[in-house]
Amino acid sequence: MKHNLTMSEQKNLSPVEKIKTESNGLRGTLEESLSDQYTGALREQDQQLVKFHGMYQQDDRDRREERNQKKLEWLYSYMIRLRIPGGLISPEQWVGLHHIAGQYSTGTIKITTRQTVQLHGILKSQTKPTIKSFNTLHLDSIAACGDVNRNVTCTSHPSESPLHEKVHAFASKISELCLPKTTAYYEIWLDEEQIEEKKNPEDPLYQNRYLPRKLKIGIAVPPNNDVDVFINDIALIAIIEDGELKGFNIGAGGGLGATHGNAATYARLASIFGFLDSEEKVLKAVYEIITVQRDYGNRSDRKLSRLKYTIDRLGVEEYKRLVEERCGFQFEKARSYEFTQRKDRYGWEQNHEGKWYFTLFVESGRVLDEGEYSLKTGLLRVAETGKANFRFTCNQNLILADILPEDKEVIETILQEHGISDYTNRASALRKNSIACVAFNTCSLALAEAQRYLPSLITKIEPILEKYGLQNDDIIIRMTGCPNGCGRSPNAEIGLIGTAYGKYNLHLGGDRLGTRLNSKYKENLEEAQILETLDSLFSDYSKNRTSEETFGDFTLRTIFKN
């Protein structure tokens, strides 16, 4: 294990490092870039900085060729991602979001794998009005992207535990603690005047260099690991004993991104440091895990700069020791807990206070009206009643939440009128356990399709499952358009990872609960080969599995342990 970075690694800072330190508190020349009407793009350094404000410059990849032929600039637009710790918004906020999506973006509301929403296709001139409109709803996009802490996730369903609300509130506290201190967002997007001395307040967490790379924090409330807690840079598991929240187990070093052909990059699950018994200590530990990554992380090679690489370079024990030294206290031995599932609790459920929840399946997290299925309109009608909150899940689904018993019928009627409850009830188990990342046409890193393709592939897999009587098996299938793992394909039971247009590596052997990564089984499969391979695997599974053995465990035993 290499402990220290070499001199050249310390000196050869990546170009993004210079952009951050010279950005004047993440301002750069964003104002100038935004007012330049001759291009839909931002200046190069501002394309990096705008991420810290929750935005990505993108282009319509479906139209690149046409634009090239016409010798036109690519069709640039912006994706805005909101910061919604724990993924909870009010009905009023959903109504506002619906209208903002219609006015400024493609209209589709995309629920992400980190429990928030994104809007795509916003023109440069419309970015400011969009952010301003969100601000009137008390929603912001600060630090939703960039080399800072991202949206903090938390188990979504309040029925998981009577203590859910308490744990859920902690996600917002962590998010607040980790916000950058610069006032740039308010000046650039909301035109707020600031006096000079207040513009760049001291930022002891991020200083002026921010983190070497993005950082993610997730909180799980056992028994559900719906947040996929171990894929986070910092993983928190609520420890509930005798009906009391005793504290949290804390781990660090999760992350799923890798690069095809670069063996130095890999997916990794978080290593557990131990248990802490108070919110105060947990906040301190989270803070110091971040400062260690800030000070020891690799700033020369962005492919190797996530916390997972720092922890493997230093060693888990040394990383933990550094955190303890900075905290002034030690981690206790990790407490026991049990995860029994990671899927969402579809349909109606009631919590301990008698409130009702309807979890609806949103395929690939895309809320839109499509053909006969008017999901977006139906959800607007639900929101307009003011009788349900909206909770996003890390499986890209939506919970209509906190509904009083006397309001349930009104909501149920709207869901039925718009085919929403029916759609969720009818979707197959495989479909309801699927995730696909965005990929084409907006993701600049996509090598293959994902959200536009997985639904039709599942339609072809469903009859194969039925042939072997496996249609009710909760097999977790995930597809990503590249190995970055945004749809968490590296810890699915069936992971399909894009290698080129129409081609995927097939990964198998992940477990159902998200505590084990999968491994590559076959490379560069086209659709026919995927179907043929799955057919043979399902046949084998149906005949030779041991009782209660999941598909992931079966493939691990019969393929990788043979």
| Candidate list 79, 152, 458, 492; residue touching ligand SRM; CB under 6 A | 79
In which element (H, E) is residue 80 found? Answer: strand 76-81
Q: Are 217 and 174 in contact (CB under 8 A)?
A: yes
Cβ 18 to ligand SRM shortest distance, Å: 18
Active-site annotation holder among 294, 376, 486, 488: 486
- In which region does residue 210 sit, left (phi positive, over 0), alpha (psi from -120 to 50) or beta (all else)? left
- 562 touches ligand SRM (CB under 6 A): no
Cα 179 to Cα 183: distance, rounded to the nearest angstrom: 11
Which among 196-204, 348-356, 442-450, 457-465 is the span making contact with ligand SRM, rule CB under 6 A? 442-450
Nearer to ligand SF4, 118 or 550 (CB): 118
Closest by Cα among 53, 47, 61, 6 to 25: 53
The amino acid that residue 211 corresponds to is L
Nearer to ligand SRM, 399 or 438 (CB): 438
Which among 173-181, 191-199, 255-263, 283-291 is the span making contact with ligand SRM, rule CB under 6 A? 255-263
DSSP string, 344-358: ---EEEE-TTS-EEE
Q: Which of residues 409-438 bind ligand SF4 (CB under 6 A)?
A: 437-438
Cβ 85 to ligand SRM shortest distance, Å: 11
Max Cα-Cα span within the chain: 72
| Residue 480 interacts with, from ligand SF4, ligand SRM, none (CB under 5-8 Å by kind) | ligand SF4
Helix axes 454-467, 527-544, angle to 10 degrees: 30
SS (H, E, C) 546-557: CCCCCHHHHHHH
394 has catalytic annotation: no
Cβ 140 to ligand SF4 shortest distance, Å: 22
522 has catalytic annotation: no
76-81, strands of its sheet edge to edge:
55-59, 76-81, 117-122, 109-111, 366-367
Cβ 440 to ligand SF4 shortest distance, Å: 8
What track of x and - describes contact with ligand SF4 for positions 431 through 470 (by CB under 6 A)?
------xxx---x-xx---x--------------------
214 has catalytic annotation: yes
486 has catalytic annotation: yes
150 has catalytic annotation: yes
- 482 touches ligand SF4 (CB under 6 A): yes
Q: How far is CA 167 from CA 161, 175, 247, 333, 395, in A?
A: 10, 13, 10, 21, 19
| Residue 481 interacts with, from ligand SF4, ligand SRM, none (CB under 5-8 Å by kind) | ligand SF4
482 has catalytic annotation: yes
| Residue 488 interacts with, from ligand SF4, ligand SRM, none (CB under 5-8 Å by kind) | ligand SRM
Cα 358 to Cα 279: distance, rounded to the nearest angstrom: 31
| Candidate list 225, 421, 442, 499; residue touching ligand SRM; CB under 6 A | 442
Q: Are 213 and 302 in contact (CB under 8 A)?
A: yes
Cβ 445 to ligand SRM shortest distance, Å: 5
Active-site annotation holder among 20, 27, 110, 216: 216
Residue 40 CB-half CA count within 13 A? 16
DSSP 8-state code for residue 441: T
| Candidate list 121, 158, 212, 255; residue touching ligand SRM; CB under 6 A | 255
Nearer to ligand SF4, 401 or 482 (CB): 482
- 488 touches ligand SRM (CB under 6 A): yes
Cα 393 to Cα 113: distance, rounded to the nearest angstrom: 7
Active-site annotation holder among 20, 81, 306, 545: 81
Nearer to ligand SF4, 307 or 446 (CB): 446
Closest by Cα among 133, 199, 200, 144 to 175: 144
- 343 touches ligand SRM (CB under 6 A): no
Q: Considering CB under 6 A, how many residues would be counted as binding ligand SRM?
A: 32
Which among 133-141, 172-180, 435-443, 550-558 is the span making contact with ligand SRM, rule CB under 6 A? 435-443
Closest by Cα among 50, 48, 42, 53 to 82: 53
Exposed, middle or buried, 184 (CB in 10 Å: 0-12/13-18/19+)? buried
| Candidate list 52, 56, 210, 296; residue touching ligand SRM; CB under 6 A | 56
| Candidate list 105, 480, 505, 518; residue touching ligand SF4; CB under 6 A | 480
Residues in the chain: 562
SS (H, E, C) 469-535: CCCCCCCCEEEECCCCCCCCHHHCCEEEEEEECCEEEEEECCCCCCCCCCEEEEEEECHHHHHHHHH
Nearer to ligand SF4, 438 or 513 (CB): 438
In the numeric block, which tokens belong to residue 336? 């026991």
Peptide bond into 12 cis (omega under 30): no
What track of x and - describes contact with ligand SF4 for positions 486 through 505 (by CB under 6 A)?
x-------------------
83 has catalytic annotation: no
Active-site annotation holder among 20, 51, 110, 150: 150
Cα 360 to Cα 424: distance, rounded to the nearest angstrom: 6
* Residues marked as catalytic: 81, 150, 214, 216, 437, 443, 482, 486
Binding site for ligand SRM (CB under 6 A): 56, 58, 79, 81, 112-114, 116, 118, 150-151, 214, 216, 228, 231, 255-257, 306, 365, 396, 437-438, 442-445, 484-488
